[in-house]
Amino acid sequence: MESRQSALFLYEEAMLFAYSAALRAAAAIGVADHLAAGPRSAADLAAATGVEADTLHRILRPLAARGIAEHHGDGRWSLTGKGAALCSDAEVPACAGILMFTDPMFWTMTHELSASAADRDRTFERGFGQSLDAYFDVDEDRARLFYDGMETVSDAENPLVARSYEFPESGTVMDLGGRFGGLLMVVLRQNLGLYGVLFDRGPLVERNRLGGEDAADLAGRWEAVGGDYFVEIPPADIYLLKRGLHNWGDEDCVRLLTNCRRAMKPDGRVLVIDAIVPDGNEPHVSKAMDYLMLAVLTGRERTVAELEPLVDAADLRISRVIPTPSPMSIVECVVR
C-alpha cells in the first residue's frame, strides 16, 4: 500500500471511536425500544424520545454503516438482528454493557495512555486521584453502572461457557469472586448433580441472584460464603475463576492460584475463564480488552504462554485449553 493510501486508511482507523460514541448515544437515549415494533421515521422517533429528528438521524447513520440499524428509502429507520440487544426487553439487553465499556473511566484512560505510557510508576491512583475501589465507592450510580454492565456482559457469555465444559456428575463447584452468581447459576442448572458455593467479599455475596425468585429451582443446592480469596479459600472439587486473573498482576495471580492448589480436593480442577489472547495477528476481542486493561492499570489479558509460568508457580499445570463460542476460553488447571 503506497503512503498516500496508507495515510487515508489510518485516518479512517483513527475515527473508529465515533462509532462507539454513536452506539453509546443510542443506548443512553433508548431509541431502540421505539424501533422494536418496526420501522419508524426520524420525526416519529424524535417525538418519542424528545431528541431532535436530525440529531437522531445522524446518530443512527453510523450505526447503519456498522450493520446495527438500517435506513430505508422512505426515510424510516429500523433495527437489524445485530442491533436487537439494544432493546431493554431483549433476552440479554446490552445497553448497560455498552454504557459500561464507554464509561469516562475507559475513555479518559485510553486517551491519556499515549502521554503516560513511558511512566513506569503509572497507577490508577495517579490517573484519577484515588484507587479503583474508591472510584466506585464514592459514587453509587457509577458503581451500579459498571457492575450492572459487567453482569449483562456475563449473562451473554455464561451459557456459552458452561456448555463448553464437561463438568463431573457430582461434587462441589466454587465460583471465586463470582459476585452476583450468574455463572454459578447457569452451571448448576446444566449440571443437576453439582453443589455450588459462591465465594466473594461478604457485602457482595449478600446481593447474589441465587436467592432470588428466578432461581427458586436451585434451592438447597448452593450456599454463599464471604471471604478473601487472597487469604484463604474453602475446599472444592472445581474452582471457577471467570475474569478472576485478568484483574491482577502476576504475583497476585500466583497467590490466588496457590490458595486454590492448597484448598482443592483430590483430583480437583481450577478453571481459568478469561479472554485468552491468540498468538497470531488475527483479530480477537481479547486484544482490545487487553488495551483497556492496560489503560486502567488493573491487570491484563494473557496468552497461554503468559499463563503457564503463573500456573506452574502455584504447583499446577495446564491440562487443556477449551475455546467457547464467546470471547472466553476455559483453561483447565490440574495438580502437577
Q: Which residues are catalytic?
A: 246
Q: Round to whole Å and give the CA distance between 62 and 314.
A: 48
- Cα–Cα distances in Å, from 294 out to 15, 71, 112? 21, 37, 11
Assess contact for 22 and 62: CB atoms under 8 A. yes
The three cell numbers locating residue 267:
483430583
Please give the angle made by the CA atoms of 153, 175 and 250, to the nearest 5 degrees.
80
Q: C-alpha grid cell for residue 38?
A: 418496526
- Quote the DSSP letter at residue 328: -
The burial class, CB within 10 Å (0-12 / 13-18 / 19+), for 288 is middle
C-alpha distances (whole Å) from 226 to each of 151, 205, 223, 265 are: 19, 7, 10, 20
The pairs formed by 38-42 with CB atoms below 8 angstroms and a separation of 24 or more are 38/78, 39/72, 39/76, 39/77, 39/78, 40/76, 40/77, 40/78, 41/75, 41/76, 41/77, 42/75, 42/77
Sign of CA dihedral 282, 285, 287, 291: positive
Q: Would you say 326 and 155 are in contact if contact means Cβ atoms under 8 Å apart? A: no
DSSP 271: E
